[in-house]
Amino acid sequence: MNRSAWRQGLKLWLPPVVVLALAAALLIAFFAKFADEAEVARTRLERRTQQLEQVRSQRLRAEAVLEQIQASEEGLADFYGRRLSSESEALTRIIAEIKDLCQRAGIPPTALNYERQTIEGQDLARRTITFAVDGTYVQLRQLINLLELSDSFLILDQISLRGNDVEGSPLRISLRLSTLFTSGDPSVKSRGQELES
């Protein structure tokens, strides 16, 4: 009787146990698959996060380069606009400045000669300014120092010195300076003009 009751009970509880076992197996398979997919998704997320960081880093570098380019363009525009202004705007100012620097050194120039040369392939013209001054060694040194400290774009091309070895005796120094201009101004004559002091 006990055996029969057990068999009867087995018929009753065996199907739910089988269903429960199948459900557990399906649940385990689902969680295993879900865990794999979650790992793949996590790996993708990490990779995308790294890519995003690389893109952000590249963007910051590109922005820094863009700022440098803009600063260079502004500096170049300033250089061409202010330092290398057209001859008609700047030549008189530069010559006046040279005369002023000579006066400040105590040795006014006797004459300034200048010559113009166009630089091939560039929108630039080179103006060479030659002049001579007489003075003591200290005055000549002061003049050269003032020329080097000038805010104008002046290049000291050549210096020649004549005089005797007697201390305190006057010396003659010939200087050749040059400067650059934008070359779009045909109104300035090209060669051998002379400005008296």
For residues 94 and 44, state if they share a domain. Answer: no
**Domain encompassing residue 113:** 87-196
Task: Compute the distance between CA of residue 180 and CA of residue 152 in angstroms, rounded to an integer.
Answer: 10
| Domain C-terminal end among 41, 68, 83 | 83
Angle at 44 between CA 39 and CA 45, to 5 degrees: 95
Tell me, what's the pLDDT at 6?
63
For residues 79 and 92, state if they share a domain. Answer: no
Q: How many domains does the chain have?
A: 2
Residue (of 115, 111, 104, 94) closest to 174 by Cα position: 111
Residue 84 burial (10 A CB sphere; 0-12, 13-18, 19+) = buried
Instruction: Please give the helix or strand (H or E) that residue 42 lies within, else none.
Output: helix 2-78
| Domain C-terminal end among 83, 106, 137 | 83
Tell me, what's the pLDDT at 79?
66
Tell me, what's the pLDDT at 161?
81
Task: Compute the distance between CA of residue 22 and CA of residue 16 in angstroms, rounded to an integer.
Answer: 10
Q: How does pLDDT run across 172-182, given as a tens digit for each residue?
A: 888 888 887 77
CATH code of the domain containing 97: 3.30.70.60
Compute how many other C-beta atoms are within 10 angstroms of the C-beta atom of residue 195.
17
Please report the sign of the dihedral spanned by the C-alpha atoms of residue 97, residue 103, residue 106, residue 112: positive
For residues 98 and 179, state if they share a domain. Answer: yes
Q: How does pLDDT run across 29-75, given as a tens digit for each residue?
A: 777 777 777 778 888 888 888 998 999 999 999 999 999 998 888 87
Contacts of 87 (CB under 8 A, 6+ apart): 116, 125, 127, 181, 182, 183, 185, 188
| Domain C-terminal end among 62, 83, 104 | 83
Tell me, what's the pLDDT at 80?
64
Tell me, what's the pLDDT at 188?
38
For residues 76 and 133, state if they share a domain. Answer: no
Tell me, what's the pLDDT at 61?
92
Task: Compute the distance between CA of residue 94 and CA of residue 197 in angstroms, rounded to an integer.
Answer: 13
For residues 71 and 59, state if they share a domain. Answer: yes
Tell me, what's the pLDDT at 129?
87
Angle at 179 between CA 182 and CA 91, to 5 degrees: 70
- Residues of the chain below pLDDT 70: 1-10, 79-89, 164-169, 183-197
